[in-house]
Amino acid sequence: MTMKNFCSGNSTTKTITRAAALGLLACALVQAADWPQYRGANHDGICAEKIAENWPPRGPKLLWKVALPGGGFSSFAVAQGKALTLARRPGGSGDQEFCVAFDANTGKELWATPLGPAKYDGGGDTGTKDNRGGDGPRSTPTIDGDHAYVLSAYLALYCLDLTTGKAVWKKDLCAEFGAQNIRWQSAASPLLEGELIFVHCGAPGASLMALRKRDGSAAWKCQDDKMTHATPIIATILDQRQVIFFTQSGLVSVVPETGAELWRYGFPFKVSTAASPVVAGDRVYCSAGYGVGSAGVKIAKAGAKFTATEIWRNEGNVICSHWSTPVYHQDHLYGMFSFKEFGTGALKCVDMATGKEKWAQAGFGPGGVLLVNGNKVLALSDTGRMVLVEASPQGYKEIATCQALTGKVWNSPAISNGHIFARSTKEAVCLDVSVK
């Protein structure tokens, strides 16, 4: 059939044509998507795209590699053809944090904007012999439309023009709201939904905050909970949209539009945690290092009142997500559950309902994970080894592997338009995993 005959058919044929076009569009959307903020659009580490699983022996094709000699643990945000991360570079009177934009297709640097001092308490100077040392920014930018929102280690929140990198506005949370920083400085990323940016700054009476993205003005501020390094998440539980902050007191859930408290769960902080909570239906997982352990919480609702009830608790460092947030799939968590086991810590499968370990595979350390293709785990070890694994409680089954990076990797990769964006304290790479 010629295209002319096909397009000039009757109404039924035209309907089929429109349906086919919509189908192609839907297929294209599945194959290509932005990764606009930390751990993806839904902040759950789940990739909506399909990626290739049959990697060549040396790994996926390398599209580009750039040196990042100043270090850093930030991940990538990718949208509008740009890939953004934070890096430490010389500037001003000493090292500065910079938000750096690369062309997502070529790796060409487009702009770099200084954010403030890059001085830390030495938290990144630990590791194995091969990846010891190296520190730097930990926050990941958020891209929305023509702007990028960035939170520095010293709690300065920026809105940057995505094309030029120039600051549209800046809010110093310490100077303007009395924010109180934390040991090793802030590692959290700005969480954006709709017109609001959610941040945790630990200020008395303004510990939890929402700022308007158009000008940085405060939409609401509340609570007195001291901050942790964990990025808040947003999720729908029992038909209620809510922002969940991981504070030094435990989990605090609030209404996004107003900051009104919905529920709390006490999980006292000891030294540090940077792993975000994980939501699975009406259950929430949280974890911290230094012997604190992990817990599973069930959320219930009676009328307008929410409650949080602990369903299991593991103390110690066996089931512990220190700063590597796991992903959830079919009643199980998959991630790096270890504490300071650099280069050796295990990738594990943990039952979400009981907190029991199903299997463990050593040799990953505190890296990062994503859920891909619906039932696979993309794991990036702290030494830069990238592995594709079956997301199954039956046991560890490796599908593909490669050495993606050199240097120390304490973050999660990003996936956008068939490309994996990953970085270490030494370099950043873009790998082609598009489905042909």
Amino acid making up residue 116? G
Q: What percent of the chain has pLDDT over 90?
A: 80
pLDDT at 26: 41
Q: How confident is the model at residue 121 (pLDDT cuts 50, 70, 90)?
A: confident
DSSP codes of every residue in 317-350: SSS-BSS---EEETTEEEEEEBSS-TTTPEEEEE
Arithmetic mean of pLDDT, 91-115: 95
Q: How confident is the model at residue 124 (pLDDT cuts 50, 70, 90)?
A: low
Q: What is the DSSP letter of 7?
A: H
Does residue 427 register a pLDDT over 90?
yes
CA dihedral 268, 193, 180, 367 (to 10 degrees): 60
236/355 Cα distance (integer angstroms): 22
pLDDT at 341: 85
Highest mean pLDDT out of 91-105, 115-129, 132-146:
91-105
Q: How confident is the model at residue 123 (pLDDT cuts 50, 70, 90)?
A: low
396/243 Cα distance (integer angstroms): 33
Going by their DSSP bridges, the two strands 142-144 and 147-151 should be labelled as: antiparallel
pLDDT at 271: 83
Radius of gyration for the alpha carbons in the chain, expressed in angstroms and rounded: 22
Q: Which long-range contacts (CB under 8 A, 24 or more apart) does 4-8 make?
A: none
Rounded to the nearest angstrom, the gap between the alpha carbon of residue 419 and the centroid of all alpha carbons in its chain is 16
Query: Strand order in 109-117's β-sheet?
Result: 77-79, 82-91, 94-103, 109-117
Amino acid making up residue 314? N
Q: Tens digit of pLDDT for each residue in 59-89?
A: 999 999 999 988 899 999 999 999 999 999 9
To 5 degrees, how large is the angle CA 171–CA 173–CA 179?
A: 175
Domains delineated in the chain: 33-432 (2.140.10.10)
pLDDT at 122: 64
pLDDT at 67: 97
Does residue 245 register a pLDDT over 70?
yes
- The Cβ of residue 356 has, within 10 Å, a number of other Cβ atoms equal to 12
Does residue 12 register a pLDDT over 60?
no
pLDDT at 144: 97
pLDDT at 270: 83
Q: What is the DSSP letter of 147?
A: E
Which tokens is 308 given? 């949080």
Arithmetic mean of pLDDT, 3-24: 39
Q: Which long-range contacts (CB under 8 A, 24 or more apart) does 370-373 make?
A: 370/39, 370/40, 370/45, 370/46, 370/47, 370/327, 370/412, 370/413, 370/415, 371/45, 371/46, 371/47, 371/327, 371/328, 371/329, 371/334, 372/47, 372/49, 372/51, 372/415, 373/47, 373/50, 373/51, 373/53
Q: How confident is the model at residue 23 (pLDDT cuts 50, 70, 90)?
A: very low
Arithmetic mean of pLDDT, 325-347: 93
Looking at every residue in the chain, the average pLDDT score rounds to 90
Least confident of 18-22, 255-259, 388-392, 401-405: 18-22
Arithmetic mean of pLDDT, 95-112: 97
Between the two ends of the chain, the Cα-to-Cα distance in Å is 26
Amino acid making up residue 302? A
Rounded to the nearest angstrom, the gap between the alpha carbon of residue 310 and the centroid of all alpha carbons in its chain is 25
pLDDT at 237: 98
Does residue 128 register a pLDDT over 80?
no
Does residue 134 register a pLDDT over 60?
yes
- The Cβ of residue 56 has, within 10 Å, a number of other Cβ atoms equal to 10
| Phi, psi dihedrals of residue 22, rounded to the nearest 5° | -65, -40
Arithmetic mean of pLDDT, 313-338: 94
